[in-house]
Amino acid sequence: MPLLSELYLAENELTSFNHLHNLPSLKKLNLRGNKIESFKDGLPDLPALEYLNLRENAIAEGKELTQLCSFKRLNKLNMQGCPIADEKGDGFRKEIIFRCEDINITIVNKEEITQEDRDEAAAEKEERIQAEKEAEEEAARLAAEEAEKAKEEAEDE
């Protein structure tokens, strides 16, 4: 079905959609109300996909969001009612921008992404990078202290 441009698979109890093949023209995919929890089985190659509706699925982990970035033309994403979107609340748009900065998503959960959202996501990314760096430095410092303590104890014996 190489010319199919829209596919509606809502409410079908799907747990994955990696089985979709030979759909190079698919622009809109509606998977609302299925049972998708993760993309552990991978994502299909949908080079023309612009709109993806994953509303009311069971996606709960932030790492799953990063995989959506493989849809390079994706500009509208709906994940309302998914645990990850509910947990993040208003910060969900920023999370999508943060994780998928290389694609031009313009609408998330029916709300337009603003320049302010993009700026806040960039600032949050910098904060996360800094926090991760500080955590690594702290872990290295603690490891060095433990090694020094072990060395001193060995010398005392």
pLDDT digits (tens, 9 = 90+) for 93-106: 999 998 988 899 99
pLDDT > 80? residue 1: no
Higher pLDDT, 2 or 34: 34
User: Which among 80, 82, 77, 127 is positioned nearest to 97, based on CA atoms?
Assistant: 77
Whole-angstrom distance, CA of residue 102 vs CA of residue 84: 21
Is residue 84 a contact partner of residue 59, using CB atoms and an 8 Å limit? Answer: yes
Averaged pLDDT score across all residues of the chain: 93
Give the predicted TM-score (pTM) of the model. Answer: 0.83
Is residue 29 a contact partner of residue 53, using CB atoms and an 8 Å limit? Answer: yes
The residue-averaged pLDDT of 20-43 equals 95
The residue-averaged pLDDT of 130-150 equals 90
